[in-house]
Amino acid sequence: MYLSKQFPKNLSKFPSFSRLDPSNAGKTFRFSGTVKGRKLVAMGSTNPEVAHEFPFFRVYKDGRVEKFRWPPEITPPCDDPVTGVKSKDIIISTEPQIAARIFLPRIPHPGRKLPVLLYVHGGGFSFESAFSTQSDRYVRILAGEANVVAVSVEYRLAPKHPIPACYDDSWAALQWVGSHFSGNGPEPWLNDYADFRRLFLAGDSAGGNICHNLAVRVGSIGLPGVTVVGAVLSHPYFGGTDDDKMWFYMCPTANGRLDDPRLKPAAGDLARLGCDRVLIFVAEKDHLRGVGRAYFEELRESGWGGTVEIVEYEGEDHCFHMDDPTCQNAVALIKKIVSFIN
Protein backbone atom coordinates (compact mmCIF):
# COMPACT_ATOMS: atom_id res chain seq x y z
CA MET A 1 0.00 0.00 0.00
CA TYR A 2 1.45 3.37 -1.01
CA LEU A 3 0.53 6.73 0.40
CA SER A 4 2.00 10.13 1.15
CA LYS A 5 1.39 12.08 4.29
CA GLN A 6 3.27 13.97 6.94
CA PHE A 7 5.08 11.77 9.41
CA PRO A 8 2.93 11.44 12.53
CA LYS A 9 4.24 13.08 15.67
CA ASN A 10 3.79 9.77 17.48
CA LEU A 11 6.06 7.46 15.53
CA SER A 12 5.25 4.54 17.84
CA LYS A 13 2.40 3.72 15.46
CA PHE A 14 5.10 2.46 13.11
CA PRO A 15 7.43 0.11 15.05
CA SER A 16 10.33 0.27 12.61
CA PHE A 17 10.35 4.07 12.81
CA SER A 18 9.72 4.53 16.54
CA ARG A 19 13.39 4.37 17.46
CA LEU A 20 14.02 7.25 15.05
CA ASP A 21 11.95 9.73 17.07
CA PRO A 22 14.26 12.76 17.58
CA SER A 23 13.54 12.61 21.31
CA ASN A 24 15.32 9.25 21.40
CA ALA A 25 18.61 10.56 19.94
CA GLY A 26 21.61 9.26 21.84
CA LYS A 27 19.68 6.60 23.75
CA THR A 28 20.60 2.92 23.73
CA PHE A 29 17.90 0.45 22.78
CA ARG A 30 17.34 -3.25 23.25
CA PHE A 31 14.85 -5.03 21.07
CA SER A 32 14.25 -8.64 20.27
CA GLY A 33 12.70 -10.61 17.48
CA THR A 34 13.49 -13.32 15.00
CA VAL A 35 15.07 -13.04 11.58
CA LYS A 36 15.11 -16.25 9.60
CA GLY A 37 15.42 -18.14 12.87
CA ARG A 38 17.88 -15.66 14.38
CA LYS A 39 17.20 -13.73 17.54
CA LEU A 40 17.96 -10.04 17.14
CA VAL A 41 18.92 -7.46 19.73
CA ALA A 42 19.99 -3.87 19.23
CA MET A 43 22.59 -3.64 22.00
CA GLY A 44 24.12 -5.95 24.54
CA SER A 45 24.21 -9.69 25.14
CA THR A 46 24.45 -11.97 28.13
CA ASN A 47 26.19 -14.68 26.12
CA PRO A 48 29.88 -13.94 25.52
CA GLU A 49 30.31 -16.61 22.83
CA VAL A 50 30.67 -14.86 19.48
CA ALA A 51 29.94 -16.62 16.21
CA HIS A 52 30.64 -13.75 13.79
CA GLU A 53 32.32 -10.38 14.17
CA PHE A 54 31.46 -7.89 11.44
CA PRO A 55 32.33 -4.19 11.06
CA PHE A 56 28.88 -2.98 12.10
CA PHE A 57 27.46 -5.74 14.25
CA ARG A 58 28.34 -8.88 16.18
CA VAL A 59 26.49 -12.20 16.02
CA TYR A 60 26.45 -14.50 19.04
CA LYS A 61 26.29 -18.28 18.88
CA ASP A 62 22.72 -18.28 20.14
CA GLY A 63 21.76 -16.12 17.11
CA ARG A 64 21.52 -12.77 18.87
CA VAL A 65 22.82 -9.72 17.02
CA GLU A 66 24.48 -6.71 18.63
CA LYS A 67 24.56 -3.52 16.57
CA PHE A 68 27.45 -1.13 17.19
CA ARG A 69 26.09 2.09 15.67
CA TRP A 70 22.47 2.26 16.65
CA PRO A 71 20.43 4.34 16.98
CA PRO A 72 21.79 7.20 14.87
CA GLU A 73 21.48 10.80 15.97
CA ILE A 74 18.21 12.05 14.47
CA THR A 75 17.40 15.53 13.18
CA PRO A 76 13.76 16.52 12.64
CA PRO A 77 12.66 18.05 9.31
CA CYS A 78 12.64 21.82 9.19
CA ASP A 79 12.52 24.98 7.09
CA ASP A 80 16.15 26.07 7.09
CA PRO A 81 16.37 29.90 7.06
CA VAL A 82 20.06 29.79 6.08
CA THR A 83 19.85 27.59 2.98
CA GLY A 84 16.18 28.21 2.26
CA VAL A 85 15.69 24.45 1.92
CA LYS A 86 12.47 23.03 3.36
CA SER A 87 12.04 19.41 4.37
CA LYS A 88 9.33 17.07 5.56
CA ASP A 89 9.00 13.37 6.33
CA ILE A 90 6.45 11.22 4.58
CA ILE A 91 5.36 7.61 4.67
CA ILE A 92 5.55 5.96 1.26
CA SER A 93 4.29 2.56 2.30
CA THR A 94 2.91 0.98 5.45
CA GLU A 95 3.39 -2.60 4.24
CA PRO A 96 6.30 -2.87 3.93
CA GLN A 97 7.25 0.15 6.01
CA ILE A 98 9.05 2.62 3.76
CA ALA A 99 9.48 6.32 4.50
CA ALA A 100 11.41 9.26 3.08
CA ARG A 101 12.53 12.79 3.81
CA ILE A 102 11.81 15.24 0.99
CA PHE A 103 13.81 18.44 0.48
CA LEU A 104 12.61 21.45 -1.47
CA PRO A 105 15.02 24.31 -2.28
CA ARG A 106 14.09 27.95 -2.76
CA ILE A 107 11.83 28.40 -5.78
CA PRO A 108 12.92 31.64 -7.52
CA HIS A 109 10.74 30.94 -10.57
CA PRO A 110 7.44 29.26 -9.58
CA GLY A 111 6.72 27.96 -13.06
CA ARG A 112 10.12 26.35 -13.49
CA LYS A 113 10.43 22.61 -12.82
CA LEU A 114 13.48 21.26 -10.99
CA PRO A 115 15.52 18.06 -11.40
CA VAL A 116 14.74 15.23 -9.00
CA LEU A 117 17.38 13.48 -6.88
CA LEU A 118 16.66 10.11 -5.27
CA TYR A 119 19.24 9.67 -2.51
CA VAL A 120 20.04 6.32 -0.87
CA HIS A 121 22.06 6.51 2.34
CA GLY A 122 24.94 4.21 3.20
CA GLY A 123 25.68 2.34 6.40
CA GLY A 124 26.63 -1.18 5.41
CA PHE A 125 22.96 -2.05 4.71
CA SER A 126 22.55 -2.29 8.50
CA PHE A 127 22.62 1.17 10.10
CA GLU A 128 22.21 4.90 9.40
CA SER A 129 18.97 6.60 8.40
CA ALA A 130 17.49 9.13 6.02
CA PHE A 131 16.54 11.05 9.17
CA SER A 132 20.00 11.10 10.74
CA THR A 133 21.83 14.37 11.35
CA GLN A 134 24.54 13.28 8.92
CA SER A 135 22.22 12.34 6.06
CA ASP A 136 19.96 15.34 6.59
CA ARG A 137 22.88 17.77 6.51
CA TYR A 138 24.38 16.29 3.35
CA VAL A 139 21.17 15.96 1.32
CA ARG A 140 20.06 19.43 2.42
CA ILE A 141 23.32 20.83 1.01
CA LEU A 142 22.82 18.94 -2.25
CA ALA A 143 19.23 20.15 -2.60
CA GLY A 144 20.26 23.75 -2.04
CA GLU A 145 23.43 23.77 -4.14
CA ALA A 146 22.10 21.72 -7.07
CA ASN A 147 18.59 23.22 -6.88
CA VAL A 148 16.87 19.85 -6.92
CA VAL A 149 13.87 18.27 -5.27
CA ALA A 150 15.59 15.55 -3.23
CA VAL A 151 13.96 12.42 -1.85
CA SER A 152 16.06 10.58 0.76
CA VAL A 153 14.86 7.00 1.22
CA GLU A 154 14.37 5.33 4.58
CA TYR A 155 14.67 1.64 3.71
CA ARG A 156 14.50 -1.35 6.04
CA LEU A 157 17.83 -2.40 7.51
CA ALA A 158 19.56 -5.76 7.74
CA PRO A 159 19.95 -8.08 9.49
CA LYS A 160 16.51 -7.61 11.02
CA HIS A 161 15.17 -7.26 7.49
CA PRO A 162 17.46 -9.46 5.38
CA ILE A 163 18.67 -8.37 1.97
CA PRO A 164 16.96 -7.90 -0.53
CA ALA A 165 14.63 -5.68 1.59
CA CYS A 166 16.89 -2.64 1.10
CA TYR A 167 16.91 -3.10 -2.69
CA ASP A 168 13.18 -3.73 -2.91
CA ASP A 169 12.32 -0.77 -0.65
CA SER A 170 14.52 1.59 -2.66
CA TRP A 171 12.94 0.38 -5.89
CA ALA A 172 9.48 0.88 -4.42
CA ALA A 173 10.49 4.41 -3.41
CA LEU A 174 11.75 5.16 -6.93
CA GLN A 175 8.52 3.85 -8.43
CA TRP A 176 6.55 5.97 -5.96
CA VAL A 177 8.51 9.06 -7.01
CA GLY A 178 7.92 8.20 -10.65
CA SER A 179 4.18 7.82 -10.05
CA HIS A 180 4.01 11.63 -9.85
CA PHE A 181 5.12 12.19 -13.46
CA SER A 182 1.62 13.18 -14.62
CA GLY A 183 1.22 15.68 -11.77
CA ASN A 184 -1.44 13.61 -10.02
CA GLY A 185 0.61 11.85 -7.38
CA PRO A 186 0.04 11.98 -3.62
CA GLU A 187 2.93 14.37 -2.84
CA PRO A 188 2.37 18.06 -3.80
CA TRP A 189 6.06 19.01 -3.88
CA LEU A 190 6.71 16.40 -6.56
CA ASN A 191 3.55 17.26 -8.48
CA ASP A 192 4.28 20.98 -8.50
CA TYR A 193 8.05 21.25 -8.83
CA ALA A 194 9.62 18.03 -10.18
CA ASP A 195 10.86 17.61 -13.75
CA PHE A 196 10.69 13.87 -14.37
CA ARG A 197 12.73 14.20 -17.55
CA ARG A 198 15.69 14.91 -15.24
CA LEU A 199 15.85 12.34 -12.46
CA PHE A 200 19.16 11.40 -10.84
CA LEU A 201 20.16 8.63 -8.46
CA ALA A 202 22.81 9.14 -5.79
CA GLY A 203 24.14 7.02 -2.97
CA ASP A 204 27.15 6.54 -0.74
CA SER A 205 28.85 3.24 0.08
CA ALA A 206 26.05 0.66 0.40
CA GLY A 207 23.75 3.32 -1.05
CA GLY A 208 25.98 3.47 -4.12
CA ASN A 209 25.56 -0.26 -4.58
CA ILE A 210 21.78 0.08 -4.24
CA CYS A 211 21.74 2.91 -6.80
CA HIS A 212 23.60 0.74 -9.30
CA ASN A 213 20.98 -1.95 -8.82
CA LEU A 214 18.18 0.60 -9.25
CA ALA A 215 19.72 1.69 -12.55
CA VAL A 216 19.88 -1.95 -13.63
CA ARG A 217 16.15 -2.37 -12.91
CA VAL A 218 15.32 0.80 -14.82
CA GLY A 219 17.32 -0.47 -17.78
CA SER A 220 15.66 -3.88 -17.59
CA ILE A 221 11.99 -3.08 -16.99
CA GLY A 222 11.74 0.70 -17.37
CA LEU A 223 10.20 3.45 -15.27
CA PRO A 224 7.11 4.90 -17.04
CA GLY A 225 7.07 8.65 -17.54
CA VAL A 226 10.56 9.14 -16.08
CA THR A 227 13.99 9.69 -17.61
CA VAL A 228 16.84 8.66 -15.33
CA VAL A 229 19.63 10.87 -16.61
CA GLY A 230 22.48 9.88 -14.32
CA ALA A 231 23.74 8.13 -11.20
CA VAL A 232 26.28 9.31 -8.65
CA LEU A 233 28.05 6.49 -6.81
CA SER A 234 30.22 7.77 -3.96
CA HIS A 235 32.67 5.20 -2.55
CA PRO A 236 30.34 2.38 -3.68
CA TYR A 237 30.49 -1.09 -2.18
CA PHE A 238 30.80 -4.07 -4.51
CA GLY A 239 32.09 -7.58 -3.96
CA GLY A 240 35.78 -8.26 -3.56
CA THR A 241 36.58 -7.22 0.02
CA ASP A 242 36.32 -8.71 3.51
CA ASP A 243 32.94 -6.96 3.77
CA ASP A 244 31.52 -9.71 1.57
CA LYS A 245 31.22 -12.01 4.60
CA MET A 246 28.90 -9.51 6.27
CA TRP A 247 26.85 -9.09 3.08
CA PHE A 248 26.38 -12.86 2.80
CA TYR A 249 25.21 -13.05 6.40
CA MET A 250 22.67 -10.30 5.71
CA CYS A 251 21.60 -12.01 2.47
CA PRO A 252 21.15 -15.70 3.32
CA THR A 253 19.44 -16.42 0.00
CA ALA A 254 22.68 -15.59 -1.86
CA ASN A 255 24.17 -18.82 -0.48
CA GLY A 256 27.67 -17.33 -0.52
CA ARG A 257 27.75 -16.92 -4.29
CA LEU A 258 30.44 -14.41 -5.23
CA ASP A 259 28.84 -14.03 -8.65
CA ASP A 260 25.56 -12.67 -7.21
CA PRO A 261 24.86 -9.73 -9.58
CA ARG A 262 23.92 -7.43 -6.68
CA LEU A 263 27.37 -8.03 -5.24
CA LYS A 264 29.38 -8.45 -8.43
CA PRO A 265 27.72 -6.56 -11.33
CA ALA A 266 27.19 -8.80 -14.32
CA ALA A 267 28.44 -7.64 -17.71
CA GLY A 268 24.94 -7.84 -19.16
CA ASP A 269 23.52 -5.69 -16.37
CA LEU A 270 26.22 -3.07 -16.87
CA ALA A 271 25.52 -2.95 -20.61
CA ARG A 272 21.84 -2.11 -20.06
CA LEU A 273 22.24 0.35 -17.22
CA GLY A 274 19.16 2.59 -17.37
CA CYS A 275 20.82 6.01 -17.44
CA ASP A 276 23.05 8.04 -19.74
CA ARG A 277 25.77 9.16 -17.33
CA VAL A 278 27.52 7.78 -14.23
CA LEU A 279 29.83 9.67 -11.88
CA ILE A 280 31.94 7.63 -9.45
CA PHE A 281 33.91 8.95 -6.49
CA VAL A 282 36.67 7.02 -4.75
CA ALA A 283 39.08 7.97 -1.97
CA GLU A 284 42.76 7.07 -1.77
CA LYS A 285 42.64 5.56 1.74
CA ASP A 286 39.28 3.86 1.37
CA HIS A 287 39.31 0.05 1.43
CA LEU A 288 36.59 0.20 -1.24
CA ARG A 289 38.78 2.20 -3.62
CA GLY A 290 39.75 -0.91 -5.61
CA VAL A 291 36.21 -2.17 -6.19
CA GLY A 292 35.10 1.34 -7.15
CA ARG A 293 37.83 1.57 -9.77
CA ALA A 294 37.07 -1.95 -11.00
CA TYR A 295 33.42 -0.99 -11.45
CA PHE A 296 34.49 2.03 -13.51
CA GLU A 297 36.64 -0.11 -15.81
CA GLU A 298 34.03 -2.83 -16.21
CA LEU A 299 31.27 -0.33 -16.97
CA ARG A 300 33.45 1.44 -19.52
CA GLU A 301 34.21 -1.85 -21.29
CA SER A 302 30.70 -3.33 -21.06
CA GLY A 303 29.29 -1.86 -24.26
CA TRP A 304 26.96 0.42 -22.35
CA GLY A 305 26.20 3.47 -24.45
CA GLY A 306 26.57 6.12 -21.77
CA THR A 307 29.50 8.07 -20.35
CA VAL A 308 31.23 7.31 -17.06
CA GLU A 309 33.68 9.43 -15.09
CA ILE A 310 35.68 8.64 -11.97
CA VAL A 311 37.16 11.14 -9.51
CA GLU A 312 39.64 10.18 -6.79
CA TYR A 313 40.51 12.32 -3.76
CA GLU A 314 44.03 11.83 -2.42
CA GLY A 315 44.58 11.55 1.30
CA GLU A 316 40.90 10.91 2.03
CA ASP A 317 39.13 7.92 3.56
CA HIS A 318 35.71 6.32 3.21
CA CYS A 319 32.81 8.79 3.03
CA PHE A 320 34.93 11.71 4.24
CA HIS A 321 32.41 14.09 2.65
CA MET A 322 29.67 12.78 4.93
CA ASP A 323 31.77 13.23 8.06
CA ASP A 324 32.67 16.83 7.22
CA PRO A 325 30.92 18.31 4.17
CA THR A 326 32.68 21.64 4.77
CA CYS A 327 36.24 20.37 4.24
CA GLN A 328 38.00 21.40 1.03
CA ASN A 329 37.67 18.08 -0.79
CA ALA A 330 34.06 17.61 0.30
CA VAL A 331 33.18 21.04 -1.06
CA ALA A 332 34.88 20.08 -4.33
CA LEU A 333 32.97 16.78 -4.43
CA ILE A 334 29.64 18.52 -3.90
CA LYS A 335 30.46 21.07 -6.61
CA LYS A 336 31.23 18.19 -8.97
CA ILE A 337 27.83 16.62 -8.26
CA VAL A 338 26.13 19.99 -8.81
CA SER A 339 27.88 20.32 -12.16
CA PHE A 340 26.95 16.74 -13.06
CA ILE A 341 23.27 17.41 -12.40
CA ASN A 342 23.07 20.84 -14.01
Catalytic positions, please?
205
In whole angstroms, give the CA distance from residue 240 to residue 258: 8
CB 169 within 8 A of CB 153: yes
In whole angstroms, give the CA distance from residue 220 to residue 311: 27
Task: Region of 128 please: left (phi>0), alpha (psi -120 to 50) or beta.
Answer: left
Give the closest residue to 249 by CA, choosing from 40, 86, 99: 40
Task: Kindly list the strands in the beta sheet with 114-120, ordered across the sheet, starting from the edge strand earlier in the chain.
Answer: 86-94, 97-104, 149-154, 114-120, 194-204, 228-234, 277-283, 307-313
Q: 304 burial class (0-12, 13-18, 19+ CB within 10 angstroms)?
A: buried
In whole angstroms, give the CA distance from residue 9 to residue 164: 29
Number of H helices, E strands in the chain: 10, 13
In whole angstroms, give the CA distance from residue 260 to residue 240: 12
